[in-house]
Structure 1
Amino acid sequence: MTKEKSRSDPPQKPDPNECCASGCVPCIYDYYYDQLDKWERENGPLTDGVKPSNRTEKPLKPHGN
């Protein structure tokens, strides 16, 4: 009998307006990318265009807007 592991849904990427861009540590994107890395270890690479090379990029916008 073969057990197939079902893929769970990947974590949802925060909207750009959810980050205040004030340099919070941790940032909402830090939580997201930690969860995405964990998800990918369990389920395989996400193929929605999110590449490891751009995972450290956070939206830049003035604080308070």
Structure 2
Amino acid sequence: MQEQLEKPNPPADDDCCGGGACCPCVWDDYYEKLQKWRIQQAKLKAQEAEG
């Protein structure tokens, strides 16, 4: 089993410039990490349900 991920924290208000020109934006990074965490949590829950 791979390392269990910690749920990411959203960026602080001053982490994002709000200009929309950054690539990747701090929010892009956050949402990517959040998606990976959610997938991992779903897999863990499914494994627990199987016993």
With the shorter chain as reference, the TM-score category is 0.5 to 0.7
| Structure 1 residue aligned with 2:37 | 39
**CA RMSD, 1 decimal:** 1.4
TM-score (norm 1): 0.51
Q: Hey, which bits of structure 1, 4+ residues long, moved more than 2 A?
A: none
State the SS of the aligned residue for 1:17.
helix
- Displacement of 1:9 in angstroms is 2.8
Looking at structure 2, the residues matched to 30 and 9 of structure 1 have their Cα atoms a distance apart, in angstroms, of 17
* Number of residue pairs matched by the alignment: 38
**Where does structure 2 lack aligned partners over 5 or more consecutive residues?**
43-51
Instruction: State the identity %.
Output: 37
* Counterpart code for 1:21: G
**Equivalent in 7, 11, 19 of residue 10 of structure 1:** 7
The structure with the largest helix share of the pair is: 2
TM-score (norm 2): 0.63
